[in-house]
C-alpha cells in the first residue's frame, strides 16, 4: 500500500473542524483590523526566495524543495509566504495610489527539515503583512492583533519576545561590536556559525546549537546601539504595548540576519506544549520591497505556525461534528424511494439528514441513528406508508409522535429547524 511522504500528514475530518475554527477566527479578526485576503501560488521562481530569505540561511541552503521544471526554470515550493506577497505587491503595482495595504493569507508552506514530532515538511501558516506604514503604532497594533487571535482561540499562555534590529544607519556599529566579541569565541561556535560569522554575524545570535548559545550569552545588545530615530520608534512601540497591557520581554537574541529586516522584531512563545516554543514571529522589513525591485516601501508582517496552534487547541478542546437533525429509517424498496425524495427535499432546505442506503433491519438502523447522534428518527415502512401515518421518534426524550404522510416534509422542516436553532451547532467546546 502506498503511504504518504515522510514528514507530510493528512488532516482528517475529525481534526479539520479545528482548522476551520482557527481559519474562521483569524479571518474575522483580521477583517476587523482592515486586512484583506490575498492568495498567492505555492510555487515561485527559486530566485525570489534566494533573494528575499537570503542565500546563507538554513532555509535556502538546506531546506527548500527546489526542482527544475520541464521548461528548464528552477522552481521552489514556497518555504514561507512573505516573499510571494511582496512579489505580488510589486508586480500588481499595489503601491500605486494608496501604498497602504494590509494583507493576509493562510496556506501550506514547504521545508525539508529533519522530521520530528509535531514538525512537518508541509506545514501551514497564517501570514499577515502591512505595506506602506513607517510609523511605530502599526507595529504595536500587529502584536496586539496577534494577542487577540490567541485570546479568541482561548490560548492563554502566550508571551511576546521583542527586540529592535535598528536600521542601515545604526546596525553597522552594532555589527562591528558583535564581530569583535565573536572573534574571541570563534572556536566555541558550531561549523555553520564559524562559516557565516564574518558575512552575517547576527545569525550567530539566533543559532539554536547549545554551545553557540553559551558562547554569545554576553554578546552586546543591539538596543544599546540604536540611532535616535530607531530608539524613538522602539520606545513608542513598547509604550503602546504597555498601554494595551500586552505583556512582552525584551530579548536581545531575537535577530534576523538580513539587511532589509529593520527595527521591530517579535516572537510569540508558549509553554503549553512543554518547553517554551515559538508559535508566531514577525517584524519589520522596511528594505525588502525595494530589494525585490519595488519602490522603497516600509513593511511589517508576521507568520503564525498553524500546525502548532491546532496541536495546542486539540489539547484544550474537542470539535464535535454536527450530528444529523434527522435519520430516516426506511424499510423496503418503496419506503426507501419515498425516503430518498423526502431526504432530498429536506437537504435542499438546509436540514442535515441521513438515511440508510443498504437493506438493514429497523433495529440496525436505530443503532446507526444513535451512533450518529441524530436528533430524530423518522420510521418509514410499507405499513406506515399504507396507513398514511409515519412515526417520528425524538432520540433524546424517546417520545414518539405520529406524522401524516401528506405534507410530511413541511412539518419536519418546521420542527427540525426550530430544534436546530435552539440546539448545539457543533461548536468548539
Ligand atoms: Zn537606526
Ligand atoms: Zn551555531
Q: Specify the residue for cell string 405499513.
A: 383
Is residue 350 domain-shared with residue 275, that is, in the same domain?
no
Determine the distance separating the centroid of ligand 2 and the alpha carbon of 425, expressed in angstroms.
51
pLDDT in tens, 78-129: 999 999 999 999 999 999 989 999 999 999 999 998 877 778 999 999 999 9
- Residue 203 domain flag: no
Q: Are 410 and 279 found together in one domain?
A: no
Last residue of a domain, one of 289, 316, 343: 316
Same-domain pairing of 252 and 380: no
Phi, psi of 156 (to 5 degrees): -95, -30
Which residue, among 138, 160, 133, has the nearest Cα to 278 in the 3D structure?
A: 160
Q: Compute, in angstroms, the gap from residue 214 CA to the centroid of ligand 2.
A: 10
From 346, 274, 319, 312, select the one nearest 428 (Cα to Cα).
319
Q: Is the pLDDT score of 167 beyond 90?
A: yes
Check whether residue 340 and residue 270 sit in a common domain. Answer: no
Residue 161 sits in a domain whose CATH number is: 3.30.930.10
Distance 177 CA to ligand 2 centre (A): 18
Question: Which ligand number lies closest to the CA of residue 165?
Answer: 1
403-425 pLDDT, tens digit per residue, is 999 999 999 998 887 766 554 44
How far does residue 289's CA lie from ligand 1's centre (Å)? 18
CA of 206 to the centre of ligand 2 (A): 8
Q: How far away, in angstroms, is 169 Cα from ligand 1 center?
A: 5
What confidence tens digit (pLDDT) does each residue in 232-253 have? Answer: 999 999 999 999 999 999 998 8
As given in the structure block, the three cell numbers for residue 380 are: 418509514
Residue 253 domain flag: yes
pLDDT-based confidence at residue 37 (cuts at 50, 70, 90): very high
The pLDDT, as a whole number, for residue 272 is 82
Regarding whether 303 and 340 lie in a shared domain, the answer is no
Residue 280 in grid coordinates:
508566531
| Residue at a domain's end among 254, 285, 316 | 316
Shared domain for 292 and 347, answered yes or no, is: no
Ligand nearest to the CA of 264: 1
C-alpha distances in Å from residue 275, one per residue of 150, 157, 217, 252, 271: 18, 12, 20, 20, 6
> Which residue's entry shows cell 558550531?
190
**In the predicted model, is pLDDT for residue 318 greater than 50?**
yes
Mean pLDDT over residues 167-177, rounded?
92
Backbone angles phi, psi at 272, to 5 degrees: -60, -35
- Contact indicator for 329, 378 with CB cutoff of 8 Å: yes
Which one of the ligands is nearest to 170 CA? 1
Q: State the binding site for L-histidine.
A: 80-82, 111, 125, 129, 256, 260-261
Residues 382-396, mean pLDDT to the nearest whole number? 93
Are the CB atoms for 144 and 246 separated by under 8 Å? yes
Residues making up the binding site: 80-82, 111, 125, 129, 256, 260-261
Tell me how far the alpha carbon of residue 248 lies from the centroid of ligand 2, in angstroms. Answer: 26
| Ligand number with the minimum distance to the CA of 186 | 2
Q: How far is the CA of 81 from the centre of ligand 2 (A)?
A: 26
pLDDT score for 53: 86
Asked if residue 82 and residue 47 are part of one domain, the reply reads yes
* Cα-to-centroid distance, 341 and ligand 2 (Å): 67
Q: pLDDT tier at 271 (50, 70, 90 boundaries)?
A: confident
Nearest bound ligand to the CA of residue 193 = 2
Same domain, 232 and 355: no
Q: Strands of 65-68's sheet, edge to edge?
A: 43-45, 74-77, 65-68
Domain of 333, CATH number, reads 3.40.50.800
- Beta bridge partners, 391, equal 379, 402
- Percent of the chain's residues with pLDDT above 90: 74
Q: Which residue, of 292, 316, 340, is where some domain finishes?
A: 316
Report which bound ligand comes closest to the CA of 211.
2
Domain count, the chain: 2
Q: Residue 305: name the closest of 280, 271, 337, 327 by CA.
A: 280
- What mean pLDDT is predicted for residues 65-71? 94
Residues 148 and 262 in one domain: yes
Q: How far is the CA of 253 from the centre of ligand 2 (A)?
A: 13
Is a pLDDT exceeding 90 seen at residue 190? yes
Could you tell me the CA-to-CA distances from 227 to 21, 233, 294, 382 in Å, in that order?
43, 10, 26, 87
Q: Residue 16's CB: how many other CB atoms inside 10 A?
A: 14
Give the 3-state DSSP-derived string for the chain, with helices as H, strands as E and coil as C: CCCCCCCCCCCCHHHHHHHHHHHHHHHHHHHHCCCEECCCCCEEEHHHHHHHHCCCCHHHHHHCEEEECCCCCEEEECCCCHHHHHHHHHHCCCCCCCCCEEEEEEEEEECCCCCECCECCEEEEEEEEEECCCCCHHHHHHHHHHHHHHHHCCCCCEEEEEEECCCCCCHHHHHHHHHHHHHCCHHHCCHHHHHHCCCCCHHHHCCCCHHHHHHCCCCCCHHHHCCHHHHHHHHHHHHHHHHCCCCEEECCCCCCCCCCCEEEEEEEEECCCCCCEEEEEEEECCCHHHHCCCCCCCEEEEEEEHHHHHHHHHHHCCECCCCCCEEEEECCHHHHHHHHHHHHHHHHCCCCEEECCCCCCHHHHHHHHHHHCCCEEEEECHHHHHHCEEEEEECCCCCEEEEECCCHHHHHHHHHHHHHHHCCCCCEC
Q: 3-class DSSP state for residue 378? A: strand
- The Å distance, Cα 286 to ligand 1 centre, comes to 12
Taking the centre of ligand 1 as the mean of its atom positions, its distance from the CA of residue 285, in whole angstroms, is 13
Ligand showing the shortest atom-to-Cα distance for residue 208: 2
In a domain, 255, yes or no: yes
C-alpha 260 to ligand 1 mean position (Å): 12
The rounded Å distance from CA 46 to ligand 1 centre is 31
**pLDDT tens-digit map of 211-229:** 998 999 889 999 999 999 9
Closest to 208 (Cα-Cα) out of 145, 255, 170, 161: 255
For residue 199, being part of any structural domain is answered with no
Strand partners, 401: 392
The ligand whose atoms approach the alpha carbon of 226 most closely is 1
Domain identity same for 267 and 387: no
Ligand nearest to the CA of 210: 2
One domain for residues 293 and 395? no
User: How far away, in angstroms, is 407 Cα from ligand 2 center?
Assistant: 75
Cα angle 90, 93, 95; round to 5 = 90
- What's the CA-to-centroid distance between 222 and ligand 2, angstroms? 19
Q: State whether 303 and 344 are in the same domain.
A: no
Print the domain residue range for 292: 13-170+226-316
137 within some domain:
yes
Asked, for residue 195, whether it belongs to a domain, the answer is no
Amino acid at each position: 500500500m502506498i503511504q504518504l511522504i515522510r514528514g507530510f500528514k493528512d488532516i482528517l475530518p475529525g481534526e479539520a473542524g479545528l482548522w476551520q475554527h482557527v481559519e474562521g477566527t483569524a479571518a474575522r479578526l483580521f477583517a476587523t483590523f482592515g486586512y484583506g485576503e490575498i492568495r498567492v501560488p505555492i510555487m515561485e521562481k527559486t530566485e525570489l526566495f534566494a533573494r528575499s530569505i537570503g542565500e546563507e540561511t538554513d532555509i535556502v541552503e538546506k531546506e527548500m524543495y527546489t526542482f527544475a521544471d520541464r521548461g528548464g526554470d528552477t522552481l521552489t515550493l514556497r518555504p514561507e509566504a512573505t516573499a510571494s506577497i511582496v512579489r505580488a505587491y510589486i508586480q500588481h503595482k499595489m503601491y500605486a495610489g494608496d501604498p497602504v495595504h494590509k494583507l493576509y493569507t493562510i496556506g501550506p508552506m514547504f521545508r525539508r527539515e529533519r522530521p520530528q514530532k509535531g514538525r512537518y515538511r508541509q506545514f501551514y501558516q497564517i501570514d499577515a503583512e502591512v505595506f506602506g506604514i513607517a510609523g511605530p503604532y502599526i507595529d504595536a497594533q500587529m502584536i496586539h492583533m496577534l494577542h487577540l487571535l490567541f485570546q479568541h482561540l482561548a490560548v492563554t499562555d502566550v508571551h511576546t519576545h521583542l527586540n529592535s534590529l535598528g536600521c542601515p544607519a545604526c546596525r553597522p556599529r552594532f555589527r562591528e561590536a558583535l564581530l569583535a566579541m565573536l572573534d574571541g569565541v570563534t572556536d566555541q561556535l558550531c561549523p555553520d556559525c564559524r562559516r557565516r560569522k564574518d558575512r552575517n554575524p547576527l545569525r550567530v545570535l539566533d543559532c539554536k546549537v547549545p554551545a553557540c548559545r553559551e558562547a554569545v550569552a554576553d554578546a552586546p545588545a543591539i538596543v544599546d546601539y540604536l540611532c535616535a530615530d530607531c530608539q524613538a520608534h522602539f520606545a513608542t512601540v513598547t509604550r503602546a504595548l504597555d498601554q494595551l497591557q500586552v505583556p512582552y520581554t525584551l530579548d536581545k537574541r531575537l535577530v534576523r540576519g538580513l539587511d532589509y529586516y529593520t527595527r521591530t522584531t517579535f516572537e510569540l512563545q508558549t509553554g503549553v506544549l512543554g518547553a517554551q516554543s515559538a508559535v508566531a514571529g514577525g517584524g519589520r522589513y522596511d528594505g525588502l520591497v525595494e530589494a525585490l525591485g519595488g519602490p522603497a516601501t516600509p513593511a511589517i508582517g508576521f507568520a503564525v505556525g498553524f500546525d502548532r496552534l491546532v496541536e495546542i487547541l486539540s489539547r484544550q478542546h474537542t470539535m464535535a461534528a454536527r450530528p444529523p437533525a434527522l435519520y430516516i429509517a426506511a424499510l423496503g424498496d418503496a419506503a426507501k424511494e419515498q425516503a430518498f425524495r423526502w431526504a432530498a427535499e429536506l437537504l435542499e432546505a438546509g436540514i442535515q439528514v441521513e438515511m440508510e442506503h443498504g437493506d438493514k433491519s429497523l433495529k440496525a438502523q436505530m443503532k446507526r441513528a444513535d451512533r450518529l447522534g441524530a436528533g430524530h428518527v423518522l420510521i418509514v415502512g410499507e405499513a406506515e406508508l399504507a396507513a398514511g401515518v409515519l412515526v417520528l421518534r425524538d432520540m433524546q426524550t424517546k417520545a414518539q409522535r405520529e406524522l401524516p404522510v401528506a405534507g410530511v416534509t413541511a412539518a419536519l422542516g418546521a420542527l427540525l429547524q426550530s430544534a436546530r436553532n435552539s440546539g448545539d451547532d457543533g461548536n468548539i467546546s
